[in-house]
Structure 1
Amino acid sequence: MSTRRILVLPHLKVHNANALSSPFTIGFPAMTAWLGFVHALERKLKVGGYPTLGLSATGVISHQCDLQTYRGPGDFVHSIIGTANPLDKDGKRSAFIEEARCHLDVSLLIECRAHEDDLDRIEQPEFAEQLEQLLVTMKVAGGDLKIFSQPRFTVLDDSNGREVRKLLLGLMPGFALVERRELMQSAMEQGADALDALLEYLTVHHRCEQHEDGNVSWHSHRKTEAEGSKPGWIVPVATGFQGISPVGQAKNQRDPDTPHRFAESVVTLGEFRMLHRISALDDIFWQYHTDLQNNLYLCQQAQPEINNDGYF
């Protein structure tokens, strides 16, 4: 029997979350943003009287993502809906850097680990009240947390598929974000460049066909994993950073006591998968993983063999 204690944060309504998930992708916030929020929550709970509590893994379930873009009549591409607040002294818009924003409805599943004393206290009503008081003060993926459903704590047997299915179906309709790094690994093993491997699964191909009566019909398709397979929606997802400078001190760094290094985003493939297709919690749980030998600071899911291929 594999007993797991899961904190459920259902239907977090986030306003103006950061949709610029990396320097070259826009859409659902980066996985680093979600694990960063959970890490900040863990630190606040430890200070608030739960010193041994650890929030060790996180599952992200998207119910709605409203990207703030606009495409006018005849436009080929979308434009970012930006703001320039406040106005300058002349009442005109001040210069600003465009920031991609999105409104979200997201549920989080968080695995909790702690000593028995803290675990017993987590199941008490006082913990839920304290948690709600903390949530209203926090940012989520750079956005404002407007409203949320009541958090709940559940204990289940991970080997019991019925219990896992009951938990997940209670959050339907929703799409869990799953890592699909193995798709890039497979393409790179066949000689593809990292960027080509990424684009191979993201490119939408359009094809037109002219019929005998002169009418033209258009068809669109994306690459599938295998003949007859039914993959979910494949997307690029930012899952961490790679250091590009030595660890040391930088001029005017925020924390003078913590070593600093410059880094760039790491992007791989992910998949939004409907919850009824999830059979185990480990299929959707993300955790931190550090590979100092390759200067990688990642958010990963459990893989049969951890290696550092399949990133761009």
Structure 2
Amino acid sequence: MSTRRLLELAHLNIHNANALSSPYTIGFPAMTAWLGFVHALQRKLNAAGYPTLELVATGVFSHRCDLQTHQGPGDFVHSIIGTANPLDKDGKRSAFIEEARCHLDVSLLIEYQAQESDEERMQRPEFMALLEQLLTRMKVAGGDLLSFNTPQLHVLDDSEPQAVRRLLLNLMPGFALIERRELMQQAMEEGADALDALLEYLTIHHSCEQNDTGEVTWRSQRKAGIEGEKPGWIVPIATGFHGISPLGLAKNQRDPDTPHRFAESIVTLGEFRMAHRIHSLDEVLWHYHTDLNRDLYLCQQAQPEITDTINDGRY
């Protein structure tokens, strides 16, 4: 059994986070936003005197997601509640692309590694003071971080599942975002293309039956999961990017020393699962994964390797 070292950032109160998680979906921010925030935090801590500290994996627990949309009486679709941008020189509203926003209450469970010297210094009050100072200056998923609970460090042994369970129960009520790529993979192996496989698990089918007395009974159902399991709170999630151009240099690129390429978003299925239904940390921890042979830059969880290079459960 191994020892897991965790940094708990509980109840991050985020205002106006980016809800346009991919070109196809709107809602909870993309997983790349959460891992990007954690990576930025690591770089700031490295520069502040903890050079060996690595934040290697992140679990995301949602307590509240207030999507800024409105559906009026008789409307079929929701409309984005936009922001009031400044007027132009003629006193008119300037042209702009509306951005979807949401207000969030989210907790992050971050697994970290460090050499013994840095780990010992992390136990001192100076580290927590530095961490809180850095957090107040950072953006999270494009939104403003208004408040958060005092960060905490945990050292857990995998041989003590009750300690892991107590930690997860402290995050209740909350929903952990986990990857359900295997649902799409199964549908694609049965012949569906990627988009149909995605929509098949998100569509709610309504049917009705009329008995002999004329009474009508309505029934709603969704596609069953693997081996007939009842699907939980299934949602589309953006989990990375697929390169669509060769590596090279582009004019006026932000970093002149790093190769540039164009990429498109990768979307798959995820599930919001109540924290009390999580049995191990590997179920919730996300990490970076790069597959250069297929030009994939991913955020994923510890799942068995999928050998099929076509039906890999992503769109």
| Runs of 4 or more above 6 Å deviation | none
Q: Is the 8 A contact 1:185 1:310 kept in 2?
A: yes
Instruction: Assess if the C-alpha contact under 8 Å between 2:26 and 2:100 holds in 1.
Output: yes
Show the counterpart of 1:242: 242
- For the Cα contact (< 8 Å) 1:13–1:148, is it kept in 2? yes
Partner SS for 1:285: coil
Residue equivalent to 2:103 = 103
Deviates more, 1:294-303 or 1:157-166: 157-166
Instruction: Compute the displacement of 1:218 (Å).
Output: 3.3
* Superposition deviation, residue 306 in structure 1: 4.4
Partner in structure 1 of residue 134 of structure 2: 134
After superposition, where does 1:1-312 map in structure 2 within 5 Å?
A: 1-212=1-212, 214=214, 216-225=216-225, 229-307=229-307, 309-312=312-315
- AA aligned to 2:99 is E
- The CA deviation at 1:221 is 1.8
Q: How much does 1:198 deviate?
A: 0.9
Deviations 1:80-120 (A, max 9, x none): 11124112223322111011110000000000101001111
Q: Can you give the 5+ residue segments of structure 2 that lack an aligned partner in the other structure?
A: none
- Structure 1 alignment gaps of length 5 or more: none
Distance 2:227 2:243 in 1: 39
CA shift for structure 1 position 126: 1.2
Distance 2:31 2:135 in 1: 19
Residues 235 and 270, structure 2, Cα contact 8 Å, conserved in 1: yes
Indicate the RMSD between aligned Cα atoms, in angstroms.
1.4
> How many angstroms apart in 2 are the aligned matches of 1:133 and 1:113?
21
Structure 1, residues 168-213: CA drift from partner, whole Å, max 9, x if none?
Answer: 0011000000001111111111221111111111111122334555
Contact 1:3 1:156 in 2 (8 A): yes
Q: Structure 2 CA distance, aligned partners of 1:162 and 1:32? A: 31
Cα separation, 2, equivalents of 1:228 and 1:268 = 20
Structure 1: distance between partners of 2:188 and 2:13: 38
Q: What TM-score does the superposition give when structure 1 sets the normalisation length?
A: 0.96
Per mean C-alpha deviation after superposition, the further-off stretch among 192-201 and 220-229 is: 220-229
8 A Cα contact 2:183 2:226, kept in partner: no
Taking every aligned residue pair, what percent have the same amino acid on both sides? 75
Contact 1:243 1:262 in 2 (8 A): yes
Distance 1:178 1:252 in 2: 37
Q: CA deviation at 1:214?
A: 4.5
CA distance in 1, matches of 2:227, 2:178: 21
Q: Normalising by the residue count of structure 2, what TM-score does the alignment of the two structures yield? A: 0.95
Which stretch shows the higher mean deviation, 278-287 or 222-231? 222-231
In 1, the alpha carbon distance for the partners of 2:299 and 2:112 equals 18
Amino acid at match of 2:156: L
Deviates more, 1:13-22 or 1:227-236: 227-236
Q: Could you tell me whether the CA contact under 8 Å between 1:60 and 1:108 is conserved in 2?
A: yes
